[in-house]
């Protein structure tokens, strides 16, 4: 039974638990956070002796039962991952209320440790990594205080910091050399609450995305970097239109599933100009990836993890639960005519089942009759956008009934998805296969990498022309060329850019030092993503290669052995100095040596005998040649022990003692010879 | 066939022979992960699985950080424990149903760095009660209570010391055997004093002297050199009447023998307890008496040494005192 009164260990643990739960606030339900706060308040009241009695076990069991029922009620809606996390936080809160003995304490420490680890599922930035590391150190501090309660807090913190600093290099070595495994089994992904592209869009949805300055991915280029107007990052292809919104075609999904079953991966080919780059995608808990057309995964690592779809999409084999990096080669001048045309045509000429948007239909019929040529027809639609006073805005009016009609002939205001949706619909009405592609357009260039944010989200049209196959048409480029060339910020008025996130640093691009700060943070974050979060099997292999050259089993074994030897050397370095006994005083060591010599002659000093008594015992037992120097040595030793010497005296005494010692040695040797002679 | 405990006991005797002072080293220290250590490793493996399945390097790094801490703790726990240096203090014999306080002195090295830290659990090997000693806040010596259950020689059980410092991940422990011989006297049971003049006729009721009222105050006489100081009449001294000694009536009574009656074995223990009580009482009153146990005879005398000899004879009955001296 341990009491919390003035128990620093419990105090630190309580605070650590509180902070850990607070960092998880986005994933933990509000009532559980309240439960946590109650438990913390209760424990702190006990610590500060504001209250004397912990709640009884019966009360806590009742509370646990009730909480369990409520959590079970919410569990379906939470999904497995968040459900487990909420359960863990709730159980810890109840344990904190209970906290009676060592066992409770240890269980609580372990669960809080695990919660800190879980925090990394949701937060992987540098700042949060440091916070979680500090929380872990605080947890260890709590343990240390538990096992040495009377040591001063300062001393304990110092010891813990030293221990942590010693553990870091070892942990780093282990991280670098321990083999990295593929996921052992599929873990439940959190239901995406993040902003991001979705698999069904209604025009206007992307305008919401433009309010977020969250990072989506970074692409680091080797060689050529695409021009701004070439930076079209394909993510999702939407081929099913119901008159208002676009989504992934169910037919396409069924066909893709079949391809998957038979492992018939689409094998795109490219020629001409090539961009080579590596993408570091932020976790989305979704599968689709980003790439410039025509994209082909580069290298075996990326090929194993990426599936190519027949609509030129790259799909990750596993949901992106952590930072995922992959290498891609993009051929911007290659034609997108490599997929099965008959299928694409069938899907992409479908019109909404119920006829609507009559004005649009009439307009298209008219236009198509004037321009039988496909390219010409598409060109005329773009010209309509260009010449009829259309404007690009983040806040278009609501268009609910016959949305395309309203957009084309009344509002004439819209965001990229309005234009893309209207154009794709018009093309389909005109008998040209067309579809909507969503993804990102643009990116902020810094040295050799591009950072792409949510506000770069974009939608454009792909239409099939017999000569070239799928051809990208971006009506936004006609209406707001600045959007494509310079990004969203220059295309909309300043007050509209990120108007929902007034404190986003990206809003203040015009303030030089703030922008510099933002760019610097960006580079630090990039380095972190690339070298820490993105350290994978491939990079590990490269690292090994740079150390030991070609990887043969023998070399790898030797290398592993070397690393473990290094780890043990490190530990030995940390602790060997402590093992050494305090160094003996020089006079004492001389005296002990003299005793050893006498020991060879069979004369030992009893523990109870003082040095002077022993000296007279030696005088009685041995020859003068030995006892005389020993007597002098003893005298010097006694003087030294009972009267502090000046440093000069001390040196003189030591020299004299050394001399006496050597005399003794010589005498013992001579004696040995005499004995041998006598025996012979 | 030896059972498991005996084999282990013999092995321990060889590995950690008895001594009066111990500096712990690799021969006497045992170390193994504690239950919490196992739980901690479970946490590490949980983090590793989670990190691998989510391909999350930070989780894996955290896992390795904890594993390195675990490794370091193996050494820290060991080094801290090996700084222990302990010595048995002066022990006293005790009575049945009582307990003997065993004093143990812990080192107080001058150098702070040479001193061990944290909580220690101390107790006797295979005994349930362990006491917790905070090495950062304690005073020497530390007393361990050893319960005395039976009369006779008592072997000091091995003293088990264990430490979980600094994080409780490892349990470091040792079983130390201290060189000492302890005797347990019979439990004193209150009874009237019966002294016999055994030189004439131990069984003769006529010669038995009732010594009830031995502490009755009799008279005051001038103090003679050699008389016990607690007989000095301090009141009179304070009044300025000089050193005057109180005389008690029993002071003059004859010396006698305490005799163990020949009875059936089941009454022997009770008789020994009675004798023990009388030895204590008579010695308290500084009366001369002898002890006749049949196997052992102790001539009449007074004083602490005499009392101790008598109690020892009672403790080891039916063996004789001579066997004690041999030990």
Furthest-apart CA atoms within chain B: distance in Å: 102
CB contact under 8 A, B117 and A144: no
How remote is the C-alpha of B102 from its chain's centroid?
A: 4
Whether A183 and B136 lie within 8 Å, measured CB to CB: no
C-beta of residue B10 within 8 angstroms of C-beta of residue B146: no
Across-strand partners of B254?
none
**Domain locations in chain A as residue ranges:** 8-150, 151-180+536-580, 200-514, 586-679
Q: Is the pLDDT of residue B217 over 70?
A: no
**What does the pLDDT read at residue B202?**
43
Query: In this complex, do B64 and A174 lie within 8 Å of one another by their Cβ atoms?
Result: yes
Residue B325 pLDDT: 45
Task: State the pLDDT at residue A644.
Answer: 63
pLDDT of residue A680: 53
User: Sign of torsion, CA B78 B84 B87 B93?
Assistant: negative
Q: What is the pLDDT of residues A589-631, one digit of tens each?
A: 888 888 888 887 778 887 777 888 888 888 888 878 888 888 8
Which of the four pLDDT bands, split at 50, 70 and 90, describes residue B168? very high
- Catalytic member of A310, A458, A640, A653: A458
- Do A578 and B113 make contact, defined as CB atoms within 8 angstroms? yes
Position with higher pLDDT, B201 vs A389: A389
What does the angle CA A564 – CA A566 – CA A571 come to, to the nearest 5 degrees? 95
Residue with tokens 């005192």: B321
- Rounded to whole angstroms, what are the CA distances from B228 to A17, B144, B285? 70, 36, 11
Q: How far apart, in whole angstroms, are the C-alpha atoms of residue A29 and residue A34? A: 9
pLDDT for the residue A503: 67
Which of the residues in chain A have pLDDT under 70? Answer: 1-2, 189-195, 493-496, 499-503, 577-585, 644-645, 674-680
With beta carbons less than 8 A apart as the criterion, state whether A214 and A492 touch: no
Cβ-based contacts of B69 with chain A (< 8 Å): 140, 163-164, 167
Neighbouring C-beta atoms of residue B217, cutoff 10 Å: 10
A416 tagged catalytic: yes
pLDDT for B253 beyond 60: no
Contacts of B36 in chain A (CB under 8 A): 106
Of the candidates B35, B49, B137, the beta carbon closest to that of A150 is on B137
B41 inside 8 A of chain A by CB: no
- State the best of A147, A316, A578, A580 to mutate against chain B, taking most chain B CBs within 10 Å: A147
State the pLDDT at residue A494: 61
Contacts for A532-537 with beta carbons within 8 Å, 24 or more apart?
A532/B57, A532/B58, A532/B61, A533/A124, A533/A280, A533/A322, A533/A323, A533/B57, A533/B58, A534/A280, A534/A323, A534/A325, A534/B57, A535/A175, A535/B57, A536/A180, A536/A301, A536/A325, A536/B55, A537/A180, A537/A301
Whether the pLDDT of residue B215 is over 60: the answer is no
Angle at the Cα of A590 from the Cα atoms of A587 and A596, rounded to 5 degrees: 145
Bridge partners of A217? A281, A452
Give pLDDT, residue B247: 64
Q: Would you say residue B207 has pLDDT above 60? A: no
The whole-angstrom separation of Cα A627 and Cα A615 is 7
In total, chain A counts a number of residues equal to 680
Q: Which of A416, A418, A456, A653 is catalytic?
A: A416
From residue A545, give the alpha-carbon distance in Å to each of A181, A538, A539, A550, B105: 18, 11, 10, 6, 58
A4-20 confidence digits (pLDDT tens) = 777 899 999 999 999 99
User: CB distance B53–A183 less than 8 Å?
Assistant: yes
Q: Which of residues 129-168 of A touch B (CB under 8 A)?
A: 129, 132-133, 136, 140, 143-144, 146-151, 159, 163-164, 166-168
| Cβ contact, residue pair A147, B40, below 8 Å | no
Q: Which pLDDT value is given to residue A43?
A: 92
Question: Of A4-18, A238-252, B162-176, B236-250, which gets the smallest average pLDDT?
Answer: B236-250
Strand partners, B177: none
Q: Is A458 part of the annotated catalytic residue set?
A: yes
* Alpha carbon A402 to chain centroid, angstroms: 46
Q: Report yes or no: B50 at the A interface, CB cutoff 8 Å.
A: yes
Q: Enumerate residues 549 to 588 of chain A having a beta carbon within 8 A of any beta carbon in chain B.
A: 567, 571, 574-575, 578-579, 582
Q: Are A113 and A16 in contact (CB under 8 A)?
A: no
Confidence of residue B278 (pLDDT cuts 50, 70, 90): confident
pLDDT of residue A20: 95
b/e map A354-371, b = 16+ CB within 10 Å: eebbeebbebbeebbeeb
Report chain B residues whose CB lies below 8 A from the CB of A107.
39
The pLDDT-based confidence of B212 (bands split at 50, 70, 90) is very low
Q: Inform me whether the C-beta atom of residue B166 falls under 8 Å from chain A C-beta atoms.
A: yes
Mean pLDDT of chain B: 81
A324: chain B residues, CB-CB within 8 Å: 55
Q: Is A247 helix (H, G, I), strand (E, B) or coil?
A: strand
- The CB density around residue B90, as the number of other CB atoms within 10 Å, is 7
3-state helix, strand, coil in chain A (%, to 5): 60, 10, 30
**Does the structure show a pLDDT above 70 at B240?**
yes
- pLDDT for the residue numbered A645: 62
Two structure tokens written together for A438: 């969503």
How big is the A-B interface in CB pairs under 8 Å?
A: 154
**Which residue from B58, B69, B168 is facing A163, i.e. has the nearest CB?**
B69
Q: What is the pLDDT of residue B248?
A: 60
Q: Do A148 and B40 touch (CB under 8 A)?
A: no
Nearest to A389 by CA among A421, A412, A408: A412
- Count of CB atoms situated within 10 Å of the CB of B101: 14
Rounded to whole angstroms, the Cα distance separating A479 from A384 reads: 10
Cα atoms in the 13 Å half-sphere on the side-chain side of A349: 12
pLDDT band (50, 70, 90) for residue B210: very low
Which band of pLDDT confidence, cut at 50, 70 and 90, is reported for residue B324? very low
Place B164 in a pLDDT band, splitting at 50, 70 and 90: very high
The per-residue pLDDT for A110 is 96
Query: Which residues are A435's β-sheet partners?
Result: A462
């Amino acid at each position: 039974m341990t009491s919390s009164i003035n128990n620093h260990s419990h105090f630190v643990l309580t605070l650590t638990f509180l902070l850990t739960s607070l960092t998880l606030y986005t994933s933990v339900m509000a009532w559980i956070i309240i439960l946590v706060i109650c438990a913390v308040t209760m424990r702190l009241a006990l610590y500060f002796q504001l209250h004397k009695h912990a709640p009884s076990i019966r009360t806590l069991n009742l509370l646990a039962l009730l909480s369990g029922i409520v959590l079970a009620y919410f569990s379906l809606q939470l999904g497995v991952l968040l459900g487990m996390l909420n359960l863990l936080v709730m159980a810890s809160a109840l344990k904190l209320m209970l906290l009676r003995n060592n066992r409770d304490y240890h269980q609580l420490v372990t669960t809080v440790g695990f919660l800190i680890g879980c925090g990394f599922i949701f937060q992987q930035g540098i700042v949060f990594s440091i916070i979680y590391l500090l929380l872990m150190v605080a947890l260890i501090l709590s343990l240390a205080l538990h096992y040495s309660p009377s040591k001063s807090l300062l001393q304990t913190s110092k010891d813990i910091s030293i221990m942590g600093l010693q553990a870091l290099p070892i942990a780093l070595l282990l991280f670098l050399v321990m083999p990295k495994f593929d996921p052992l089994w599929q873990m439940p992904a959190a239901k995406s609450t993040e902003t991001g592209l979705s698999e069904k869009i209604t025009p206007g949805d992307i305008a919401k995305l433009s309010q977020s300055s969250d990072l989506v991915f970074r692409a680091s280029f080797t060689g050529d970097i695409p021009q701004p107007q070439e930076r079209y990052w394909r993510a999702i292809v939407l081929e099913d239109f119901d008159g208002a919104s676009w989504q992934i075609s169910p037919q396409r999904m069924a066909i893709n599933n079949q391809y998957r079953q038979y492992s018939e991966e689409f094998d795109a080919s490219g020629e001409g100009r090539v961009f080579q780059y590596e993408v570091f995608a932020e976790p989305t808990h979704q599968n689709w990836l980003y790439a410039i057309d025509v994209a082909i995964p580069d290298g075996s690592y990326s090929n194993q993890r990426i599936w190519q779809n027949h609509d030129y999409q790259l799909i990750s084999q596993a949901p992106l639960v952590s930072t995922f990096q992959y290498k891609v080669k993009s051929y911007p001048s290659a034609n997108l005519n490599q997929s099965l045309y008959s299928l694409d045509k069938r899907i992409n000429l479908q019109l909404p089942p119920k006829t609507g948007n009559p004005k649009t239909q009439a307009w298209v019929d008219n236009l198509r009759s004037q321009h039988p040529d496909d390219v010409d027809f598409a060109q005329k639609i773009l010209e309509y956008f260009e010449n009829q006073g259309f404007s690009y805005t983040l806040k278009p009016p609501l268009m609910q009934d016959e949305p395309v009609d309203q957009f084309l002939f009344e509002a004439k205001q819209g965001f990229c998805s309005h234009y893309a949706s209207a154009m794709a619909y018009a093309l389909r009405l005109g008998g040209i296969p067309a579809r909507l592609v969503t993804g990102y357009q643009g990116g902020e260039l810094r040295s050799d990498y591009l950072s792409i944010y949510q506000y770069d989200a974009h939608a454009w049209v792909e239409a099939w022309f017999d000569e070239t196959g799928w051809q990208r048409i971006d009506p936004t480029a006609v209406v707001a060329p600045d959007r494509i060339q310079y990004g969203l910020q220059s295309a909309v008025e300043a007050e509209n850019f990120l108007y929902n996130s007034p404190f986003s640093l990206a809003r203040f691009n015009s303030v030089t030092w703030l922008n510099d700060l933002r760019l610097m943070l960006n580079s630090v974050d990039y380095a972190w993503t690339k070298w820490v979060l993105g350290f994978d099997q491939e990079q590990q292999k490269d690292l090994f290669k740079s150390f030991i050259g070609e990887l043969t089993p023998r070399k790898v074994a030797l290398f592993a052995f070397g690393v473990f030897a290094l780890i043990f050397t490190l530990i030995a370095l940390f602790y060997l100095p402590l093992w050494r006994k305090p160094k003996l005083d020089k006079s004492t060591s001389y005296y002990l040596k003299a005793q050893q010599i006498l020991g060879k002659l069979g004369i030992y000093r009893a523990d109870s005998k003082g040095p002077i008594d022993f000296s007279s015992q030696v005088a009685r037992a041995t020859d003068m040649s030995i006892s005389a120097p020993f007597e002098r040595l003893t005298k010097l030793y006694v003087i030294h022990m009972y009267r502090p010497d000046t440093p000069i005296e001390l040196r003189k005494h030591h020299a004299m003692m050394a001399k006496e010692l050597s005399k003794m040695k010589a005498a013992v040797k001579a004696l040995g010879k005499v004995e041998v002679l006598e025996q012979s | 066939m030896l059972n498991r405990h005996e084999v282990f006991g013999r092995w321990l005797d060889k590995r950690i022979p008895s001594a009066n002072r111990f500096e712990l080293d690799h021969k006497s220290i045992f170390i193994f992960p504690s239950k919490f250590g196992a739980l901690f490793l479970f946490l590490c493996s949980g983090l590793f699985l989670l990190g691998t399945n989510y391909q999350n390097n930070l989780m894996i790094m955290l896992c390795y950080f904890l594993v390195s801490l675990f490794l370091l703790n193996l050494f820290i726990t060991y080094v801290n424990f090996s700084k222990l240096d302990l010595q048995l203090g002066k022990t006293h014999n005790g009575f049945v149903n009582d307990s003997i306080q065993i004093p143990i002195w812990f080192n107080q090295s001058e150098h702070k760095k040479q001193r061990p830290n944290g909580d220690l659990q101390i107790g006797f090997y295979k005994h349930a009660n362990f006491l917790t000693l905070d090495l950062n806040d304690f005073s020497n010596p530390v007393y361990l209570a050893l319960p005395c259950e039976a009369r006779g020689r008592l072997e000091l059980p091995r003293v088990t010391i264990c430490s979980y410092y600094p994080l409780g991940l490892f349990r470091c422990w040792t079983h130390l055997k201290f060189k000492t011989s302890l005797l347990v006297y019979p439990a004193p049971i209150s009874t009237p004093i019966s002294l016999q003049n055994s030189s004439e006729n131990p069984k003769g009721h006529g010669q038995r002297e009732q010594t009830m009222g031995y502490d009755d105050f009799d008279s005051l006489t001038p103090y003679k050199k050699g008389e016990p100081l607690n007989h000095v009449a301090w009141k009179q001294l304070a009044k300025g009447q000089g050193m005057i000694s109180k005389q008690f009536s029993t002071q003059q009574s004859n010396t006698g023998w305490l005799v163990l009656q020949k009875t059936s074995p089941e009454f022997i223990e009770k008789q020994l307890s009675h004798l023990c009580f009388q030895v204590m009482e008579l010695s308290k009153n500084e009366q001369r008496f002898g002890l006749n146990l049949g196997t052992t005879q102790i001539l009449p005398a007074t004083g602490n040494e005499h009392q101790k000899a008598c109690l020892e004879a009672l403790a080891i009955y039916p063996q004789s005192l001579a066997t004690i001296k041999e030990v």
